[in-house]
Structure 1
């Protein structure tokens, strides 16, 4: 696949335009996990600013994934029988991940962002196991996904999941553990080596001590024990005092606002616009600096920064379209949303398991750095797996309801009741599923796949009598659409969004 260089030179200034089909498709592929034909059609012709405002307002007010009955359980709520207890634990975690994944599929920007933040403020459920900790962590991700980043940083660090994952529960005043102190600077807020010292880490670890009271019952909430806190003087970023947890957050955001804003905006840019923010051919650094200025001016509120980015000429530039590589979740969820194929929990569970095999295990990243990304998803180890698994899901959809393939073809085809040229149908399907269509030298292959050799005499071109149309040959059309989709999912362009 071509190595994409970031040649986008468009500014951060607003795009004063209405959405056309390509821009609407691009918008929903980036802000959510793509969208149906109906959603795209309803966006076409509308003001970019209005649609973005609606999506951000929706994300800000979207109800959270409902709290499960076991949201605050500890070990005492489970049977003494070890095997039965393990069975219940596994079922609770799996059911929660399934419920959350369904929200990721359908909730557009809010859970596109909560999913993004789960790969920024990383924890691994395998390290702490408790379903209640996982729920509380996910709840925090959703509540702050488009909220205030300073408040987000403060609260996520005190979730039980994070305290266990980065050893905060072992950070005693007489024996400080530096793990969380290091990661809050290196991975969560500043970036590796970016204007902090080893002494800052040591002193910060001392300030964060005390959140070590784990209760007598396993998986109880972690609380603060003042006797385990280092109450002596510390110096962090040249500020000296008897600092504690809240002081660390305040000092960090007061003394390092430029570093924080650039680091987070760069990460948002690479997630939503282009994976390469350092290519000299474009002006990504200028865009990120503009976003960072807004981030600081808005007191680290996330929504204004995203609003500025998503409304910009830079976001909608031709060079920004189709340059991100789909993660496994993107691959399967985009396919569902774009085709409108019906699914149930068994298919979502299958997607969760398949994504894990392809390197994207939800809430179990390979390390605190998060999942590998972008070009990693199409390495030689995973490429064949992506093809075969996408084929498997198409076969499931076709087996469950072949009629929905006909319905999809009809939904994307202009004037489907009168269209008698199969090439028009093929092109419409290609344009729906591929961000920039298909390469010229591959177009004819796609046209040939959709055409049924047995129906050539009925086609409008080149030599047919024109009696073919989707409705007259509905049974054949649904199978032709299925074969075409099997062909499309193996094309390089299908890997992009």
Structure 2
């Protein structure tokens, strides 16, 4: 696999940007990715959705007074959530430089907020847009902003955190999963952190402190003493010597290595601290230096979105059925806006269980044969139209022989091809293959289908 193709897959979701990387170089590509425009508008699908806590309370009142109407509202919001997932995938597919969307997805899986608990789709969208806006910004700034979102305080139960009646969920995950990692704080820090966050609950434009529920007693938190609130607590966290390493490791796992070496984490983590937790220079340093190594292929299992969008791109499927893709991602365990828990998607080997592998092979069969995947509908998807077929067009050179075509396809899809795989591919596209024959394109599609089912295709 060419290095430019590898990094197009890593910094996006397909090989579509490989020629741009080759033309601009990795630094020029990154510069354009950082500067590329993105959608800042609220999608129309949220026009009639609840947007405030008052709206949400009104729905809860309806639930008590009119159960049938409540069911209709719940069904409508479930449909809206599905459309919101589809809207996000459309942003990913339509963006010329998809790195911002890939970072948005990264933050989405770092600062997790799930639809099952948050309930209000507009609040989920607000967080999604915050991650998009701050994708390449400052980690410390983003941490503070996330704590001020209605989605986060509701998801981690800080609405139940009051003086004299603590809920430690947000305080714990702020340290354990969002910033420092296990072993770098004490249980006392968690308890005192809950006191500092007491009263931080749902507001009109975002989370705010409610004076009646606040705890204004002095606390000690990570060595800092005083009446500490959210901002002061985050400042204390970012003064901790271990702060750079958790996020640096997760960035490596998201883009390059499922199991990054400790020396890499510390080397880049120290740089991250040096640049005052700015994401953009960290990404530039990581990507340019790792790009230059040219020995990093095969170190990361593709997540379901990377896998499926690469297929869509290679087969040149125009206007793919996004609704069906939403359902496929859910089946693969990558349900957008609905991670299984606050830890988010595990990634790595969890993306390649025997069931997931079989599902991927089924998808490859269907798309290579010009058919859409069939999925049972949930009640919220009854009105979603299903396309039964797609037009596929695989790029290959009709002036080449069987071995040259195999090499052309494997060079842009696989990081390695062993002798056994090569022999299997040559059994599909035989030595006497005639590229000018009427069935030639179907034969090459059968070859491509076999290639994308190989274990090597699952890895970048």
Instruction: Tell me the TM-score normalised to structure 1 length.
Output: 0.81
Q: Please name the residue that 1:135 is paired with.
A: 125
SS at match of 2:220: strand
Question: Which one of 329, 333, 348 corresponds to residue 374 of structure 1?
Answer: 348
Q: How does 1:22-421 map to 2 (within 5 A)?
A: 22-36=2-16, 39-58=17-36, 61-64=37-40, 66-68=42-44, 69-70=47-48, 72=51, 74-75=55-56, 81-107=69-95, 108-194=98-184, 196-212=185-201, 222-254=207-239, 256=240, 258-277=241-260, 284-312=261-289, 314-344=290-320, 347-396=321-370, 400=389, 404-405=392-393, 408-410=394-396, 413=397, 416=398, 419-421=399-401
* Cα distance per residue 1:100-132 (max 9 Å; x no partner): 122233431101111111111111111121111
Shift in alpha-carbon separation, 1:29–1:367, aligned structure 2, 3 A = same
| Bigger Cα displacement from structure 2, 372-381 vs 241-250 | 372-381
1:482 matched to 2:458: no
The question of whether the paired residues in 1 share the 8 Å contact of 2:153 and 2:202 is answered with no
Render the CA deviation track for 1:406-461: whole Å, top value 9, x for unaligned.
xx233xx3xx4xx142331222112222233x22211122122134x9xx3xx5xx
| Structure 1 SS opposite 2:209 | coil
Shift of 1:259: 1.2
Give, in whole Å, the separation in 2 of the partners of 1:116 and 1:153: 14
TM-score, normalised via structure 2 length: 0.87
Name 1:493's counterpart in structure 2.
456
SS at structure 2 position matched to 1:193 = coil
Question: Match of 2:2, SS?
Answer: helix
Q: Deviations over 1:215-274 (max 9, x none)?
A: 9xxxx96542112110111111121111111111112112x1x31111111111122221
* Residues 20 and 29 in structure 2, CA contact (< 8 A), matched pair in contact too: no
Query: 1:230/1:116 Cα in 2 relative to 1: closer, same or farther (>3 Å)?
Result: same
Instruction: Output the aligned Cα RMSD.
Output: 2.4
- Specify the SS of the correspondent of 2:333: coil
Q: What is the aligned partner in structure 2 of residue 433 from structure 1?
A: 413
**Alpha carbons of 1:161 and 1:425: their partners in 2 closer, same or farther (altered >3 Å)?**
same
Total equivalences in the alignment = 431
Q: Which residue in the other structure is 1:448 paired with?
A: 427
Distance 1:401 1:371, change over 3 A: closer
d(CA) in 2 for partners of 1:170 and 1:230?
13
Distance in 1 between residues matched to 2:26 and 2:272, nearest whole Å: 21
Give unmatched runs, 5+ long, in structure 2: 373-387
Contact conserved, 1:32 with 1:109, CA < 8 A, in 2? yes
Q: Answer whether contact 1:148 1:301 (CA < 8 A) is retained.
A: yes
Query: Is the aligned partner of 1:423 residue 2:412?
Result: no
